[in-house]
């Protein structure tokens, strides 16, 4: 079936954010057409949740395409309008199993020129690892916290640090973890006040929420 792709080029004017392309449920032909349309407007192509098979086709087509397999993200071109800010984002995760989500968030932020750093394997099961990093994490202006299992890391960070916190439940864990549902409910029920919670595995959404915060305080 053939249909027109209506890309939201006015989003940057309205929100200061560009539209990303969801790769998981699009055919390679749809992804090619979407990429052509975006590049024709001198915008950067940012595709999330794209598998290696689809990515290879786009890598063959565009010399400046970069595929980040662990994050399942593909980028073509450069963002011509990066943010001019000294604000920084820390991306904190409970374990290396959360890596794909943290990388998705990191890539999304870097497209906009935002300085960010990942703090991996600082989960509550070895809470001394988090305590050892607190002084460094406290230097950042916005905190993204990614965690699976029971998702307690966001509550702990929220009880120790004052920055805006965006929690991302990750679909990692045994049995009743239910593909991230337990972490989601735990974060929504957090007793640390003021934590914002994204949907399960939504690293990209957390990055965009961070950008909104940064743009409001610049």
Give me the DSSP letters along 48-83: ES--HHHHHHHHHH-TTEEEETTTTEEEES--SS--
- What pTM did the predictor assign? 0.91
Q: For residue 89, what are the β-bridge partners?
A: 116, 142
Neighbours of 139 (CB within 10 A): 10
| Helix 99-111 with 203-217: angle, nearest 10 deg | 40
> ∠ CA 17-81-99 to the nearest 5 degrees?
60
The structural domains of the chain, with segments of one domain joined by +, span 11-76, 88-217
* pLDDT, tens digit only, all 218 positions of the chain: 455 677 777 787 788 788 899 999 999 999 999 999 999 988 999 999 999 999 999 999 999 999 999 999 999 999 888 888 999 999 999 888 888 999 999 999 999 999 999 999 888 888 999 999 999 999 999 999 999 998 899 999 999 999 999 999 999 878 888 988 999 999 999 999 999 999 999 999 999 999 999 988 86
Fold of 88-217: Rossmann fold (3.40.50)
> How far apart are the C-alpha atoms of 188 and 185, rounded to whole Å?
5
């Amino acid at each position: 079936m053939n249909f027109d792709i209506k890309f939201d080029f006015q989003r940057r004017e309205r929100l200061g954010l560009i539209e990303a392309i969801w790769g998981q449920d699009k055919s390679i032909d749809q992804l090619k057409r979407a990429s052509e349309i975006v590049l024709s407007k001198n915008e950067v192509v940012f595709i999330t949740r794209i598998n290696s098979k689809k990515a290879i086709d786009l890598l063959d087509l565009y010399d400046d395409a970069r595929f980040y397999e662990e994050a399942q993200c593909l980028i073509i071109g450069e963002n011509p309008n990066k943010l001019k800010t000294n604000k920084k984002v820390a991306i904190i995760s409970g374990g290396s199993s959360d890596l794909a989500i943290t990388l998705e968030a990191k890539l999304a932020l870097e497209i906009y020129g935002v300085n960010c750093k990942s703090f991996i394997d600082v989960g509550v099961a070895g809470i001394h690892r988090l305590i050892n990093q607190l002084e460094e994490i406290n230097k950042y202006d916005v905190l993204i916290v990614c965690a699976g299992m029971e998702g307690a890391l966001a509550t702990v960070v929220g009880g120790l640090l004052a920055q805006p916190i965006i929690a991302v439940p990750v679909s990692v864990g045994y049995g009743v973890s239910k593909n991230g549902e337990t972490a989601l409910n735990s974060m929504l029920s957090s007793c640390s006040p003021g934590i914002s919670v994204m949907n399960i595995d939504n690293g990209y959404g957390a990055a965009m929420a961070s950008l909104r915060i940064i743009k409001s305080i610049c």
